[in-house]
Structure 1
Amino acid sequence: MNFSSWPPLLVVDVEGNGTNPPDLVEIAALPVRDGHPDTSTAGAWLIRPARPVTPFAVRVHGLTNQVLADKPGWEETKDAVHALLGTAWIAAHHAHVDYRALTAHLPQWKPAGVIDTLRLAKATYPDLPKYGLDALIEHTAPDLSQAPAQRHRATYDAYATAQLLITMADHYETWDQLVAAAVPPGLPGAPEPEQESTLW
Structure 2
Amino acid sequence: MQAVTTRHRPRLRTSGVCKAYGGRQVLRDVDLDVPAGALVGVVGENGAGKSTLLRIAVGHLAPDRATVTRTGAVGYCPQRAVLNDAFTVGQHLRLFQMAYGLPTLERVGELMELLAPTGRRRQQVGELSGGTRQKPNPLIALMHDPQLLVLDEPYQGFDWDTHQRFWTLAAELRDQGRSIIVVSHLLHDLYDLHDLHHFDAIAHLRQGRLHVKETDR
TM over 0.5: same fold?
Answer: no
TM-score range, shorter chain: under 0.3
TM-score by structure 2 length? 0.26
User: Which is richer in helix?
Assistant: 1
User: Which is richer in strand?
Assistant: 2
